[in-house]
């Protein structure tokens, strides 16, 4: 009997096991259906949400990209009007062209050796002359009694790099046809003359011819510091004892 009961129990237990398996299948089907439904819902709404999220940053980034593209455009000068930056850079260049003096090209500054002045029929050798301290202070200088010219060494030197006026003095003679006599009678503004130096020849053009009382020569503008200028000084033949004649010349710019 006991054995039969066990057999009966096993027979009765089998259907219970089958009933549980059926429930599990039902639950499994329900879960699968639920998962499918959830996936469909997610697919329906999630894709749209994801699409909106991708478009969001793209839309939000447009102003930044536009600003970056438009930013450099504002300072670019227009074809008809230069920008302020361009005009500020160009202004100093224009000012420099207007104010810069012409560059005189030629031999470097060195001692003058000879002056050739065709219009005044003057061709003289030049010697260096060191005035005494008293002569330099009073600008009253007496050169040696020859027909040559004398370069006042404490002042300027002709040529590129000159820092002052070059002064050449010489005697005019009474009753003699001396070279420096011609400064009083033949020299004229616009004349050309040449100074031969140790470094080469320098061409000059006469700017002015002026007579001064000997007493006022020391206070005249010829003693103003002017680089590259040439001044020739002699006694005025119309009044050898009372007046001086001065010839002021400037170097002729190359070209």
> What pLDDT sits at residue 19?
46
Q: Which residue has the tokens 């600003």?
A: 67
Q: Whose CA is closest to 126, among 115, 117, 136, 142?
A: 115
Per-residue model confidence as pLDDT tens digits over 59-115: 333 333 333 333 333 333 333 333 333 333 333 343 333 333 345 678 999 999 999
pTM: 0.60
Q: Residues 182-190: what's their mean pLDDT?
A: 97
pLDDT, tens digit (0-9, with 9 covering 90-100), for 201-243:
999 999 999 999 999 998 999 999 999 999 999 999 999 999 9
Average per-residue pLDDT for the chain:
74
User: Residue 125 pLDDT more than 90?
Assistant: yes
| Distance between CA atoms of residues 5 and 14, nearest Å | 14
Cα 128 from Cα 126, distance rounded (Å):
7
Which tens digit of pLDDT belongs to each residue from 128-139?
Answer: 999 888 887 776
Residue-level pLDDT at 255: 53
């Amino acid at each position: 009997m006991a054995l039969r009961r066990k057999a009966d129990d096993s027979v009765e237990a089998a259907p219970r096991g089958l009933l549980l398996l059926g429930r599990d299948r039902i639950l499994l089907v329900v879960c699968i259906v639920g998962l499918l439904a959830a996936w469909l819902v997610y697919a329906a709404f999630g894709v749209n949400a994801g699409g909106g999220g991708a478009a969001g940053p793209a839309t939000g980034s447009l102003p930044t990209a536009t600003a970056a593209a438009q930013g450099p455009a504002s300072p670019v000068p227009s074809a008809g009007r230069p920008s302020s930056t361009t005009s500020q850079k160009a202004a100093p260049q224009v000012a420099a062209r207007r104010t810069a003096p012409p560059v005189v090209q030629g031999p470097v500054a060195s001692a003058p050796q000879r002056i050739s002045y065709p219009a005044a029929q003057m061709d003289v050798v030049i010697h260096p002359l060191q005035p005494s301290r008293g002569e330099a202070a009073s600008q009253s200088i007496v050169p040696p009694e020859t027909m040559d010219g004398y370069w006042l060494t404490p002042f300027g030197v002709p040529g590129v790099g000159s820092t002052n006026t070059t002064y050449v003095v010489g005697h005019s003679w009474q009753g003699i046809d001396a070279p420096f006599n011609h400064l009083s009678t033949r020299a004229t503004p616009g004349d050309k003359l040449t100074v031969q130096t140790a470094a080469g020849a320098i061409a000059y053009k006469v700017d002015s011819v002026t007579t001064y009382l000997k007493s006022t020569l020391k206070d005249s503008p010829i003693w103003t510091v002017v680089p590259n200028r040439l001044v020739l000084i002699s006694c005025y033949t119309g009044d050898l004892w009372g007046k001086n004649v001065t010839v002021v010349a400037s170097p002729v710019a190359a070209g």
